[in-house]
Amino acid sequence: MLNAQKNTDLIRSEAHRLGFEFVGFARAERLDAAARQLENWLNKGAHGRMAYMENHFDLRVDPTVLVPGAKTVICLTFNYHNPEKQLDNEAPKIASYAYGEDYHIVVKDRLKMLLQFIQTDIGAVDGRCFVDSAPVMEREWAHRAGIGWNGRNGLTIHPKRGSFFFLAEIICDLPLLYDDPIRDHCGTCRRCIDACPTEAIAPEGYFLDASKCISYLTIELRDEIPAAFKGSLDGWMFGCDVCQDVCPWNRFSERHAEPSFEPNPSLTNMTKQDWQELTEDVFGKIFKKSAVKRVKYAGLKRNIAFLETDP
């Protein structure tokens, strides 16, 4: 028990030094209730064309299959909140998480440093790092590790910081002291449900039909955006922040302190006309290290063109 307490404290301290804001620990075990919820979500087709969500079901619901011998899921948050907005109010919008460099790379690099610290200062620990790039039910683990509750909009919400943060995990075979979940504080609030431009959140909340979500339509969907969504994208060309912007808990969000997440000035200064006339060369320069590269030039032009046809 003394070693577990010491190791838990060591990891939490080093995580904070590396820039992670909140750190929680959960026992690695099969997620039976979450598995049933995931199966129901998939059966309803709420994943749209994201066929990969159907793959590796056992890996998603059981970290001991993903990392044999796993004892702990270390859950962490990395703040990306930036109140700065694009200067032209009529310009097509980009979700604030994509303003800076690709979080998959920035956060995973810190996560690898943390795992290396654990292996160097604690001992022979087997573990793997995850940042939104593998079959890990990160919001469920964040909840179990006491980092936040799963809000009506489907996002992890922390009572002192809201939801503008990335989630990251280390699944390892080191037993540690485990945290208790935070209870749901959404109460009777329905702001995210009422504000969603495409009605992607179920009327009672806690269920997101991803096939209607603007982030899905502008990032995940490779086909043409269905005409039924004309006039409903609220000006978003990559991702969407609506359900976070209206969430009362995000009044507690603080600006991030990560230089890599600072926006390229060219991005925030571009006008509506600049975006309409976007060339592949300019796209490559602005989004050289950005997560926006995921949709490629053709994908972003598709989204911009769709917005231009809005009634």
Catalytic positions, written as ranges: 132
Of 169, 138, 170, 171, nearest to 156 by C-alpha is: 138
Quick count: other Cβ atoms within 10 Å of Cβ 124?
A: 7
Identify whether the C-beta of residue 130 lies closer than 8 Å to the C-beta of residue 169: yes
Strand bridging mode 93-94 / 236-238? parallel
DSSP conformation class of 184: P
Note the Cα 182 to chain centre separation in Å: 19
Looking up tokens 């604030």 gives: 96
Going by C-beta distance under 8 Å and a sequence separation of 6 or more, which residues neighbour residue 243? 153, 155, 192, 195, 196, 201
SS3 content of the chain, % helix, strand, coil (to 5): 45, 10, 45
Phi, psi of 254, deg, nearest 5: -120, 150
Quick count: other Cβ atoms within 10 Å of Cβ 66?
A: 20
Tokens of 109: 């690099």
Tokens of 129: 């790092």
Quick count: other Cβ atoms within 10 Å of Cβ 10?
A: 15
